[in-house]
Chains A and B, each alone.
Chain A
Amino acid sequence: MSAGGARVSWLRVRAIARRHAYVLLRSPHRMFDVTLWPLVDVLLFGSLAAFVGQPGASSGTRAAGYLLAGIVLWHVIYQSQIAVSTGFLEETWSRNLLNLMVTPVRESEYVAGVALFGMVKLLIGIGVMVLGALVFFSFDTSSLGFGLLPIAAVLLLVGWCISLLVIGIVLRFGSGAEALAWGVMFVVMPLSGVFYPVSALPDVLQPLALALPTTHAFAALRGLVDGKGLDWAQLGIAAASVAVLLAFSLAFLTRMLALFRRRGYITRYV
């Protein structure tokens, strides 16, 4: 992989995307990521929503909306992050990193290819969730309106940013840091107020939560669930902070890749 130049080859991007499509199609257990686990999450949070939303429960209907809309949108971050992170990890698992790094493919082309394929996985996974929410819990995600799209776009970018950070850390610390690919999401989720407002978090964590773009994106989502329309202020803060996060992630990855080359860490993978 190479950093030089800005010209992106669509041919290379498609080649990378196709390579990962083959990996998914020939690894049936990986289909769980886009079918079974999203469905399990919908059933879990949908059942919880049905419980808190039962007649007599206070604010039940609204809470049910928060839970189901929250888990569907959470999967946008989760799936986009996992797709890119595991796409890169696949190269280390199959000891393909050296072969790849000697080709003319640029980092931007590689990430674009994996992200492109990740979009396909994301669409399948979200499709399964939206359908599951509708069939099992009569929750129509589309009823939240077009405001969902910019929120989903912000969350998609956050997922990609986290994956760039994870790849950078794996480049620096080696395969031992792989667990971060999954573990980091368990830290981001509670801090992001996916199902509740930031005010529900312990006071000490609230400033940290407010610094995350995800927190503002999910706050905007709750506005949609409440029927108040899209909260542009929250969305604007989310978009601005995701731009900062993206710049930081790219700078971090570039630095870690330079360190990877300087210290000869490729020898870990040959």
Chain B
Amino acid sequence: MQADPSRTERAREMILVARGLVKDYRRARAVDGVDLEVRAGERVALLGPNGAGKTTTLLMVLGVVSPDAGWVEVGGRRLERHRSRAAEEVGFAAGYLPLAERLRVREYLRLYGQLYGIADPAPRIDAGLARFRIPHLAEAMGTELSSGQRTLVGIVRATMHHPRLLVLDEPTASLDPDVAMRVRTGLREISDEDGTALLVTSHDMSEVERLCERVVFLSEGRIVADGTADEVAASYGRGNLEGVFLHLAEEHLEPHEPGGAQQSDHPL
């Protein structure tokens, strides 16, 4: 089967470039020289044990946290100078964030649609709710929703403006398997149909293997592996990503030599 030329063309385009990201919180280094690139339409998982620097990296990519060193470019625009324009290209959803209080789902989505510059968001709201099979929630108050429903509405919010990069922090955390499946299916559709790149953090390795074509492992603020799930697992001599994850988590718990910088000797 021949590849769709327009999709191939899009796939060459770099939507996210981060170079030399460093972030210190007080005396602890959360992110230590991260270089990250995501191409249009690519589905990338950012993995690592707790405290590896995933969320801080995402927050820097989103422009909510400023790096102490390094820079981020989204759609060719540097965040520190053009954050508003760059933000138009990005959507963000996190499983742990509630919906704004005292708004119905439709009002909430309308608010965010307009913040992303959509004058009449109604058709996109309907399409988004239909894609995730929740049109019946349109008139519900945000506080009446279950955590799974909130997550689905959050993803509709994050994708209404057809972002070129969708950033998801733990999108399926604490969801029932059927809702998690609906999330993954919807995300894959969005990626395939709109060419939206996904940058996802997750602790569910099987989900990552099903959804993402590339995984980036972080440990102690550094990228220690970058490749397909099979490549990464093989390079650590493990059968799957979970094995890699457990290995890195154990390494993270081991005492370090005082003052010694943590250098990964991993080939990837």
- Chain A residues with CB under 8 Å of chain B are 2-5, 9, 11-12, 14-16, 18-19, 22-23, 26-27, 91, 93-96, 98-106, 258, 261-264, 266-267, 270
- Which listed segment binds A: B33-41, B100-108, B240-248, B249-257? B100-108
Asked if B174 lies at the interface with its beta carbon under 8 angstroms from chain A, I say no
Q: How far is the CB of A193 from chain B (nearest CB, A)?
A: 39
**Stretch from B111-119, B215-223, B260-268 forming part of the interface with A:** B111-119
Contact A27 B102 (CB under 8 A): yes
Q: Which residues of B contact A (CB under 8 A)?
A: 23, 25, 30, 56, 59, 62-66, 68, 81-85, 87-88, 90, 92, 94, 96-98, 100-103, 107, 110-112, 114-117, 119, 157, 167
- B98 to chain A: closest residue by CB: A95
Interface contact B64-A4, CB-CB below 8 Å: no
Whether A99 contacts B114 in the complex (CB less than 8 A), given A4-B84, A4-B85, comes out as no
Name B66's contact: one of A94, A261, A267 (CB within 8 Å).
Answer: A261
**A262 / chain B contacts, CB cutoff of 8 Å:** 65-66, 68
Name which residue of chain B comes closest to A23, CB basis.
Answer: B102
Asked if A12 and B115 sit within 8 Å, CB to CB, the answer is yes
* Contact status A104-B100, CB under 8 Å: no
Cβ A26 vs Cβ B102 within 8 A: yes
- Give the docked Cα–Cα distance between A103 and B161 (Å): 11
Q: Looking at the complex, which one of A5, A95, A104, A266 makes contact with B59 (CB distance below 8 Å)?
A: A266
A58 to B142 CA separation, bound complex (whole angstroms): 59
Contact indicator A270/B111 (Cβ below 8 Å):
no
A99-B97, A266-B64 are contacts. A106–B102 as well, Cβ < 8 Å?
Answer: no
> Do residues B23 and A19 form an inter-chain contact, with CB atoms below 8 A?
no
Decide yes or no: A102 and B64 within 8 Å by CB, A11-B119, A12-B114, A264-B23 being known contacts: yes
Q: Which of A2, A5, A270 contacts B97 (CB 8 A)?
A: A270
CB-CB < 8 A to B103: which residues of A?
19, 22
Tell me the complex Cα distance, A101–B64, Å. Answer: 6
Considering only CB atoms, which chain A residue lies closest to B119 in the complex? A11
A260 vs B156: C-alpha distance when bound (angstroms): 28
The distance in angstroms between the C-alpha atoms of A267 and B51, with both chains bound, is: 13
Q: Which residues of A contact B167 (CB under 8 A)?
A: 102
In the complex, chain A residues whose CB is within 8 Å of the CB of B25: 263-264
Chain A residues positioned under 8 Å from B23 (CB to CB): 264
Most chain A CB within a 10 A radius of its CB, from B30, B65, B88, B94: B65
A266 (CB) vs chain B CBs: closest residue: B64
Specify which of B66, B88, B102 is in contact with A104 (CB 8 Å cutoff): B88
Q: Are A266 and B102 interface neighbours, CB within 8 A?
A: no
Is there contact, CB below 8 Å, between A2 and B98? Answer: no
The 8 Å CB contact of B98, one of A4, A26, A94, is A94
* Min CB–CB distance B65 → chain A (angstroms): 4
Q: With a CB–CB cut-off of 8 A, which chain B residues contact A267?
A: 59
Say whether B111 contacts A15, CB under 8 Å: yes
- A104 lies within 8 A of B97 (CB): no
CB distance from A71 to the nearest CB of B (A): 31
Shortest distance between the CB of A244 and any CB in chain B (Å): 28
Distance in Å from the Cβ of A128 to the closest Cβ of chain B?
23
Question: Are the C-beta atoms of B65 and A11 separated by less than 8 Å?
Answer: no
A99 touches B102 (CB 8 A): no
Inter-chain contacts of A102 with B (CB < 8 A):
62-64, 87, 90, 92, 167
Indicate if the CB atoms of B90 and A2 lie closer than 8 Å: no
| 8 interchain pairs, CB-CB under 8 A | A4-B81, A5-B84, A9-B117, A22-B103, A99-B92, A102-B90, A103-B116, A104-B87
Residues of A within 8 A of B111 (CB): 15-16, 18-19
Contact check, A264 vs B63: say whether CB atoms are below 8 A apart: no
Q: How far is the CB of A88 from chain B (nearest CB, A)?
A: 13
When the two chains form their complex, are residues A103 and B64 in contact, meaning their CB atoms are under 8 A apart? no
A103 touches B59 (CB 8 A): no
On chain B, the residues within 8 Å of A19 by CB distance are 100, 103, 107, 111
Q: Which residues of B contact A94 (CB under 8 A)?
A: 98, 100-102
